[in-house]
Amino acid sequence: MPQSMFQFLPTPFFHFEYLRVLSTAPFHGAETGECLSALSQLRDGDAEAWYRVWSAQAKQALALGDEALAAGDTTGAAWAYLRASNYFRSSEFFLHCDATDRRLVGAIEKSVEVFDKGVRLVQGMRVVGVEVPYEGGVLPGRLFLPKSGNGIGKGGKIPLLVQMGGFDSTQEELYFVGPAGAVPRGYAVLTFEGPGQGIVLRRDKLRLRADWEKVTGKVLDVVEDKLAGEYGLDMERIAVVGSSLGGYLALRAAADPRVRACVSFDGCYDLFDVTRSRMPGWFINGWLNGTLGDGFFNFVVNRLAAWNFQLRWEFGHSMWVYGVETPAEVMRAMQRFHLRGYLEKVKCSVLVTGAADTFYFTPELNAQRIFDGLGHLEEGRKRLWVGKGVEGGGLQAKVAAWGVMHVKILLHQIQAVAALNNLTIDIPPFAFGTANKTPSFLSKFPTGKVPAFEAADGTTLVESDAIAWYVAASGPQAPALLGRNVAEQARIRQWISFAENEVYGPMLSVVLWRAGFRPYEAETEKSAAKGMEFALSVVERHLEQEGYLVKGLSLADLTLASALYWAFMHYLDETERRRFPRTVRWYLRTIGSQGVSQVFGEPVLVGVKKSAPDGN
């Protein structure tokens, strides 16, 4: 945990779990006031107080949901039920030291029940129950679908994300990480409870398995045999996603030829190595070579766990999940969870991330080794990002990393120009707020701004427009991108300035709070909405006579499309798009152009934008 980071509770373990609840607030998994009320009653290291406080908050939110539903306020009811479900989930978390505690089943059963009650009231989303046959029983799942088409699918089909749970998550918690953000962007999301997870661990006693591809194979069979045809899912665009241990599970699933992309957020390469790295060498090596027997190993771990709650929870939860009875058996079970010799089976595109400030899966032992194990993939089909610092994506959930998002927005126009000119831009892992403050960085880029660019000949530049102009002028498409005469060049510069001065600021204001990166402010939203309407009206009128902003595809189009990228993803929903049809056609034509589409990817158009909290 970064030393400068504010902590809600003294120990990183309890602080992280509190933050885990609070971070779902943008997706209605928590309410700030309720969380602060809970905080005043929590005691660091006290599992019983944690259970009592979050159970009480859950019941309070549940009662509020019932009240809202009775009054006909389905939106208020949905939000309250989702919060109640998440609070019930969190309430039993620290009770995992004792797998026989009856409250474990009761709390999660209540979380599941209330979640189903709430999620079916969420506007713009359809939820379908799914059953996956597994070893004579079924694994419960949910398919989340956009209620109306939003242009993302090809031929009317919807791309699918299959989301993995992790070591201690539940399917209901996955909603806040996946479906809540993906469905409004036009994706379908399939979540499921696998062996060793959620309700099937607590109720059915199914244990976690290392060969997760055996589980996801059955899940994908259900998708292929039933769900794809019935709900219009695109079998050619299936991605698997997972976080923490779920990142490992996603990589196991990625070897299936039906999977076209994989995102492994902060996953592990070898679970045993992770645990081994946290133990004294003489102790773990003595056990491995047989010098120290299981009895001594178990004695030492149990004595340490008696006064260290985190260690007690970790081994207690692990024994429960693996279905074993001693710490030594836990260590043997962990040895099955590794990716050695397996990653070469993965043929799809992969994004690997690491979190420099995690206290579990460090990037050196995990993300880097995973990325290195994908050496058989072409450069354009794999990427590694290691977040550093709170502001740079260093926390496990990439919380508070909106500066990284800012950088990614600005990179689209530069990458698109490079692609059209057949130039290669190397984008190394970068920790915003940290790397750009180092002496070596400031010696080349004194302002410390990003994006920053260094050419092969040593030329250094900052400001995205300047970098894009340089890249555009450095290849065979320079006349088309920058203008063939003075008049065209001036008009291109005019539209670039327009994007920067009239579009970019309002776009950030309407997008950032909807994406959960900034608090909502009514006056800011009102002003920004007017700014967006004005800018889009100008573009709409101009496109009455033109197919592109100037003559043919130019840097002007790429710059404005980049500025609007996140607006189309979060703000310009179906209602808004109907008001600006020419602008929508121009945008789709621009980002779908040959050489450009590989940078922007498939169009992501929000179906129904997130409503303002005050109803305005």
Asked if 325 and 333 count as a contact pair (C-beta separation under 8 A), the reply is no
The H or E element containing residue 33 is helix 32-39
Let me know if 206 is exposed, middle or buried by CB neighbors in 10 A (0-12, 13-18, 19+). buried
Contacts of 259 (CB under 8 A, 6+ apart): 162, 220, 238, 239, 240, 253, 348
DSSP E strands in 44-174: the ranges are 125-134, 137-146, 158-163
- Residue 313, beta-bridge partner list: none
Tokens at residue 585, please? 């056609």
User: Could you give the maximum distance between any two Cα atoms of the chain, in Å?
Assistant: 84
Measuring CA to CA, which residue among 545, 550, 543, 534 is closest to residue 495? 550
**Which alpha helices (DSSP H) does 71-147 contain, by range?**
74-91, 103-119
| Helices (H) then strands (E): counts for the chain | 28, 10
Contacts of 456 (CB under 8 A, 6+ apart): none
Could you report how far apart the first and last alpha carbons of the chain are, in Å?
A: 39
117-130 in b/e form (b: 16+ CB < 10 A) is bbbebbebbebeeb
Asked if 118 and 97 count as a contact pair (C-beta separation under 8 A), the reply is no
- Residue 160, beta-bridge partner list: 188, 238
Tokens at residue 523, please? 């006056």
Question: Hey, how many other C-beta atoms are within 10 angstroms of the C-beta on 534?
Answer: 12
Residue 416 CA to chain centroid, in angstroms?
24
Distance CA 425, CA 418 (A): 7
Please, which contacts does 479-488 make with residues 24 or more away whose CB atoms are closer than 8 Å?
480/552, 480/553, 480/554, 481/417, 481/420, 481/421, 481/553, 481/554, 481/555, 481/558, 482/554, 482/555, 483/550, 483/554, 484/551, 488/550, 488/551, 488/554
Mind giving me the DSSP string for 517-580? SS---HHHHHHHHHHHHHHHHHHHHHTTT-SSSBSBS-HHHHHHHHHHHHHHHHT--HHHHHH-
Distance CA 594, CA 450 (A): 27
Let me know if 235 is exposed, middle or buried by CB neighbors in 10 A (0-12, 13-18, 19+). middle
Distance CA 558, CA 4 (A): 39
Q: Which positions are annotated as active-site residues?
A: 244
